[in-house]
């Protein structure tokens, strides 16, 4: 089949802007399983966002759970870019009309204090480069109707990125056992997702190492000041309009967000 990168990027951008999800891209505009083409579509959109004056503030890692990888038939994570307008203050209300099909998940966020420019980066290099870690809620979203996505669809759609919320009490990496840290995500005080650091590639640090290597190899490495969302610690949860969500991660503290009610 012919590959139409521009048309795929255009459909995703239009879906984001007009609030109407598009049909799946795989088998229509992009070949099934062609992850390389999907990243090219992601890059086309990122270039547009930067040209419009947005700033890249980091990156996110997705598909860090083995169960999720198996459901997509892949055995490595994926990634997307984070922009300045995706950041939501801790506790702030999110206008649900900004999103199409939002879901929430709890993660560990890393903030880098040094560049990671070498694709042969080790875990020790990552540890030295991390300035601090924070609890985070990622608000994932899909521009593809009904979340009917394959690896190609989600990569092209900037790894199903939406918004993100960071906690405000930084912790030193040395003070937290990220592999064993427990997580609970609550809605109205009731647990809706539970998990632990080990659910994220065995340790969230491994996700950051993979991302650093991958982005250095692509020629666009992680830099000092970048935020890295390292991947979900438990199952993602569909958002209910008007609801509030709080994530607590042992050793890191808590982070909270809420959503506006649907317009009448």
How confident is the model at residue 3, as a pLDDT?
84
Question: In this model, does residue 264 exceed pLDDT 50?
Answer: no
Question: In this model, does residue 34 exceed pLDDT 90?
Answer: yes
Task: Give one DSSP letter per residue of 175-243, joined into a string.
Answer: G--TTT-EEEEEETTEEEEEEEGGGTTTSHHHHHHHHHHHHHHTT--B-TT-EEEEEESS--EEPPTT-
How confident is the model at residue 66, as a pLDDT?
80
Stretch 54-77: mean pLDDT: 87
In which band, very low, low, confident or very high, does the pLDDT at 1 lie, cut at 50, 70 and 90? low
Stretch 232-259: mean pLDDT: 97
Beta-ladder partners of 133: 110, 171
Element (H, E) at 66: helix 66-72
In which band, very low, low, confident or very high, does the pLDDT at 214 lie, cut at 50, 70 and 90? very high
How confident is the model at residue 159, as a pLDDT?
97
Stretch 228-246: mean pLDDT: 96
Stretch 153-171: mean pLDDT: 97
- Tell me which residue of 65, 39, 85 sits closest to 231, measured CA to CA: 65
In which band, very low, low, confident or very high, does the pLDDT at 153 lie, cut at 50, 70 and 90? very high
Strand order in the sheet with 190-196: 93-94, 253-259, 244-249, 182-187, 190-196
How confident is the model at residue 263, as a pLDDT?
62
- Tell me which residue of 14, 186, 166, 163 sits closest to 99, measured CA to CA: 163
How confident is the model at residue 71, as a pLDDT?
73
């Amino acid at each position: 089949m012919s590959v139409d990168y521009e048309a795929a990027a255009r459909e995703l951008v239009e879906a984001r802007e007009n609030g109407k999800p598009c049909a799946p891209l795989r088998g229509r505009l992009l070949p099934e399983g062609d992850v390389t083409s999907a990243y090219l579509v992601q890059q086309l959109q990122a270039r547009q966002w930067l040209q419009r004056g947005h700033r890249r503030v980091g990156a996110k890692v997705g598909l860090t759970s083995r169960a999720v990888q198996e459901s997509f038939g892949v055995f490595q994570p994926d990634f997307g870019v984070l922009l300045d307008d995706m950041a939501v203050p801790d506790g702030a209300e999110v206008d649900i009309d900004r999103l199409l099909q939002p879901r929430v998940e709890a993660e560990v966020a890393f903030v880098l204090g040094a560049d990671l420019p070498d694709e042969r980066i080790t875990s020790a290099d990552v540890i030295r480069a991390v300035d601090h870690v924070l609890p985070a809620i990622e608000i994932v979203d899909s521009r593809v109707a009904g979340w009917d996505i394959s690896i190609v669809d989600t990569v092209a759609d900037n790894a199903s990125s939406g918004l993100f919320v960071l906690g405000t009490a930084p912790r030193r990496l040395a003070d937290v056992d990220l592999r064993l840290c427990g997580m609970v995500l609550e809605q109205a005080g009731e647990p809706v997702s539970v998990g632990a650091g080990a659910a994220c590639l065995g340790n969230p640090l491994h996700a950051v190492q993979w991302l650093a290597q991958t982005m250095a190899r692509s020629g666009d490495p992680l830099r000092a000041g970048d935020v890295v969302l390292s991947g979900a610690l438990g199952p993602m949860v569909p958002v209910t309009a008007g609801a509030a969500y709080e994530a607590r991660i042992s050793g890191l503290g808590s982070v909270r967000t809420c959503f506006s009610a649907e317009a009448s």
